[in-house]
């Protein structure tokens, strides 16, 4: 089977039916939790990030496949975001809702606002609903007014936008004031928003974020990004996140392409190449990508989203640089995904993670706030575009 057909079949026969089945017709949105044994908890908390990513997924699947059966699912996710996830009084998007759609965790996190912009931009692109573009514009302005200061982008805030501890985007024993992860996904969201809106102020912010990545986040000595920072953007921990680095590489390429600024393409090209080379050398092992390295100790878990971003990141490097070793790695990891990481049980999607022997972690669910169709759905959609020749 040709590569294009493989990715299309995986999208249409595996991912789309799985997520269609989670649509909540009673309370809106999509069910927020499925355990390892594929049992759906209909009364589970509904993460607004999960809903935004589902909205992005169905909007982009619709544009890619031209399949009208996907429109109602995108519209369903859009209504839930608009009617339930948005705080009509204080502005912004809640962190989560209860299963009935009432506010549950009212934290306003910059990461969450960014994913709503990302999803709304795609929904506008797919269906040309001007209301969606206005909502994206409102959230862009909210981030720039409420979630940014002289040092960069803030992280967690209360419902009324007072600073609170950033426990949601902090891991590895640190409590970070700022993170590479949030900055990356603001950049990703602004890229899509700029692509559909062409607003000059968004282009300005994209350039500013690229400057920050190049001067404060990227570590030229170690050829990696730092991950967790204090308020002044000093790194807090010796941590190398392999998945984020290869994801950053192709997202920067995409962002500079959408921006259309040759000076920034040239500025970021050496950084992107260094990330690609370093991840291929350090993290690619046994047909897959290791997770991360903290204080010299490698985490061997094979995480679902890391494998998806590795295929796309390495294939992007191959297309750009013409080096077959990147293509070989991308296709090798894709084979790993098809044979090991994909949950072939009836009604399954992808396992959350596998150990180094390829066995799934039974403690991890198939769906929850972070386990979504964004990384693997985007892999299929992007690879269909890149192999359709």
User: Strands 148-149 and 152-153, how do they pair?
Assistant: antiparallel
Give residue-wise pLDDT tens across range 343-357: 999 999 999 999 989
Cβ contact 290:353 at 8 Å: no
| Cα dist from 12 to 7, 62, 303, whole Å | 9, 11, 23
CA gap 89, 208 in Å, rounded: 30
* pLDDT for the residue 242: 98
Q: What is the distance in angstroms between the CA of the first residue and the CA of the last residue of the chain? A: 14
Burial class (CB in 10 A: 0-12, 13-18, 19+), 348: middle
Give residue-wise pLDDT tens across range 190-234: 999 999 999 999 999 999 999 999 999 999 999 999 999 999 999
Cβ contact 164:156 at 8 Å: yes
User: Which pLDDT tens digits describe the chain residue by residue (389 residues)?
Assistant: 799 999 999 999 999 999 999 999 999 999 999 999 999 999 999 999 999 999 999 999 999 999 999 999 999 999 999 999 999 999 999 999 999 999 999 999 999 999 999 999 999 999 999 999 999 999 999 999 999 998 899 999 999 999 999 999 999 999 999 999 999 999 999 999 999 999 999 999 999 999 999 999 999 999 999 999 999 999 999 999 999 999 999 999 999 999 999 999 999 999 999 999 999 999 999 999 999 999 999 999 999 999 999 999 999 999 999 999 999 999 999 999 999 999 999 999 999 999 989 999 999 999 999 999 999 999 999 999 999 97
Helix, strand, coil tally for the chain in percent (to 5): 55, 15, 30
CB atoms within 10 A of CB 263: 10
* pLDDT for the residue 356: 87
**Among 206, 205, 247, which Cα is nearest to 225's?**
247
CA gap 179, 171 in Å, rounded: 10
Inter-axis angle of helices 3-10 and 374-387, nearest 10: 150
CA gap 65, 78 in Å, rounded: 19
Please give the structure tokens belonging to residue 384.
């269909």
Give the domain ranges of the chain.
3-387
Give residue for tokens 């050829």.
223
Please give the structure tokens belonging to residue 243.
């998945």
Cβ contact 29:101 at 8 Å: yes
CA gap 149, 159 in Å, rounded: 18
Beta bridge partners of 97: 46, 103
* pLDDT for the residue 11: 98
**Among 159, 160, 180, which Cα is nearest to 170's?**
180
pTM of the model: 0.98
The CATH classification of domain 3-387, taken from the options 3.30.1490.190, 1.50.10.10, 2.40.50.140, 3.90.110.10: 1.50.10.10
Please give the structure tokens belonging to residue 341.
């990481």
User: Strands 148-149 and 284-285, how do they pair?
Assistant: unpaired
Gyration radius of the chain's alpha carbons: 20
């Amino acid at each position: 089977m040709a590569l294009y057909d493989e990715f299309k079949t995986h999208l249409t026969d595996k991912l789309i039916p799985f997520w269609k089945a989670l649509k909540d017709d009673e309370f809106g949105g999509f069910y927020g939790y499925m355990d390892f044994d594929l049992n759906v908890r209909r009364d589970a908390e509904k993460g607004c990030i999960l809903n935004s990513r589902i909205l992005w997924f169905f909007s982009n699947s619709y544009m890619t496949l031209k399949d009208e059966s996907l429109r109602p699912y995108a519209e369903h996710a859009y209504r839930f975001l608009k009617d339930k996830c948005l705080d009509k009084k204080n502005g912004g998007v809640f962190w989560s809702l209860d299963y009935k759609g009432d506010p549950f965790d009212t934290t306003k996190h910059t990461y969450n606002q960014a994913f709503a912009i990302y999803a709304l931009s795609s929904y506008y692109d797919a269906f040309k609903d001007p209301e969606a573009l206005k909502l994206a514009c409102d959230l862009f302005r909210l981030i720039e007014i409420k979630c940014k200061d002289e040092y960069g982008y803030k992280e967690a805030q209360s419902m009324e936008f007072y600073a609170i501890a950033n426990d949601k985007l902090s891991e590895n024993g640190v409590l970070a004031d700022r993170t590479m992860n949030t900055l990356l996904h603001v950049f990703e969201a602004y890229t899509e928003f700029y692509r559909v809106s062409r607003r000059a102020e968004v282009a300005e912010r994209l350039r500013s974020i690229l400057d920050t990545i190049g001067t404060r986040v990227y570590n030229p000595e170690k050829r990696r990004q730092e991950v967790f920072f204090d308020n002044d953007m000093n790194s807090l921990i010796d941590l190398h996140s392999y998945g984020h680095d290869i994801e950053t590489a192709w997202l920067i390429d995409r962002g500079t392409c959408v921006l259309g600024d040759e000076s920034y393409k040239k500025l970021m090209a050496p950084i992107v190449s260094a990330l690609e080379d370093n991840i291929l050398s350090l993290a690619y092992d046994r047909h897959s990508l290791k997770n991360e390295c903290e204080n010299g100790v490698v985490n061997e878990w094979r995480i679902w989203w890391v494998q998806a971003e590795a295929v796309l990141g390495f294939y992007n490097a191959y297309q750009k640089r013409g080096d077959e070793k990147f293509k070989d790695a991308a296709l090798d990891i894709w084979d790993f995904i098809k044979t090991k990481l994909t949950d072939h049980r009836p009604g399954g999607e992808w396992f959350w993670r596998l150990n180094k022997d390829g066995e799934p972690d039974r403690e991890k669910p198939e769906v929850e706030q972070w386990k979504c169709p964004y990384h693997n759905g985007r892999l299929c959609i992007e690879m269909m575009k890149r192999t359709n020749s």
